[in-house]
């Protein structure tokens, strides 16, 4: 029996990048996936995952009402979710003096508010069921300052703060809430953004000398989403190759 057989996992940002890798990882281990993305092709992408019964939902999670609709549709389509992975996010980089209000707000709307709305909708279902695993994708930028990352760092630090509050409020109801904070991850987007000399300089500052792989992030998320992690809640799990240890 695979580790996630019988489990239903809602994964945001499931059409690409870390979200897609997480969806694949959990599906390979028996989970039924509800993939959520603004990409109109998410349904086809999710149906192509290993196993059967997966369901895709197109949604703009900056809409405060979207999360409730997502969970209503997920329950109707495949049943009550056991797992939520909040992977949808955006990185819009500007010097702090140059951040336009529109880009600041969009970063907060997607990275923080979208995460909260989805966690809130999941929490309502999971606390009633007496079981749940919520994993929020944060970043090493949640604990350090990075040049041109004012909005991004602020949003991810806020995700970690939110994670801790939800963990405390829902622990007695069998729901764990954790954050995962990787360094640069070599998704297609990450490879493009950190190509060349800029990327080599960044790798040189990481003790292990490289960036993270999407499969490594998915593996950590899968552990936190598993039954074995029942005692782990309210943590911010750093995956940064030792960068913040020096």
Residues tagged active-site: 152
User: In whole angstroms, what is the distance from residue 164 CA to residue 216 CA?
Assistant: 23
Q: Which residues of 98-128 are buried (b: 16+ CB within 10 A; e: fewer)?
A: ebeeeebeebbbbbbbbbbbbbebbbebbbe
User: In whole angstroms, what is the distance from residue 82 CA to residue 126 CA?
Assistant: 7
221: three-class secondary structure by DSSP = helix
The Cα angle at residue 185 between residues 118 and 220, in degrees rounded to 5: 60
CB 135 within 8 A of CB 223: no
Neighbour count for residue 28 (Cβ, 10 Å): 16
């Amino acid at each position: 029996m695979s580790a996630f057989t019988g489990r239903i996992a809602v994964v945001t940002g499931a059409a690409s990048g870390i979200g897609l890798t997480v969806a694949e990882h959990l599906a390979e281990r028996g989970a039924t996936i509800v993939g959520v993305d603004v990409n109109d092709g998410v349904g086809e992408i999710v149906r192509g995952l290993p196993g059967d019964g997966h369901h895709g939902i197109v949604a703009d999670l900056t809409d405060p009402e979207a999360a409730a609709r997502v969970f209503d549709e997920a329950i109707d389509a495949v049943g009550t979710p056991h797992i939520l992975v909040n992977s949808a996010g955006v990185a819009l980089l500007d010097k702090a003096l140059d951040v336009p209000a529109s880009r600041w707000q969009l970063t907060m709307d997607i990275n923080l508010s979208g995460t909260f709305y989805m966690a809130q909708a999941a929490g309502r279902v999971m606390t009633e069921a007496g079981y749940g695993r919520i994993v929020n994708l944060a970043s090493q930028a949640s604990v350090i300052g990075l040049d041109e990352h004012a909005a991004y760092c602020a949003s991810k630090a806020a995700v970690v703060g939110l994670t801790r509050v939800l963990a405390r409020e829902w622990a007695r109801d069998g729901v764990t809430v954790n954050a995962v904070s990787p360094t640069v991850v070599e998704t297609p987007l990450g490879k493009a953004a950190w190509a060349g000399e800029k990327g080599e300089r960044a790798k040189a500052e990481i003790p292990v000398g490289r960036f993270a792989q999407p499969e490594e992030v998915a593996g950590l998320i899968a552990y936190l989403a598993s039954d074995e992690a029942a005692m782990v809640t309210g943590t911010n799990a750093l995956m940064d190759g030792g960068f913040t240890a020096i």
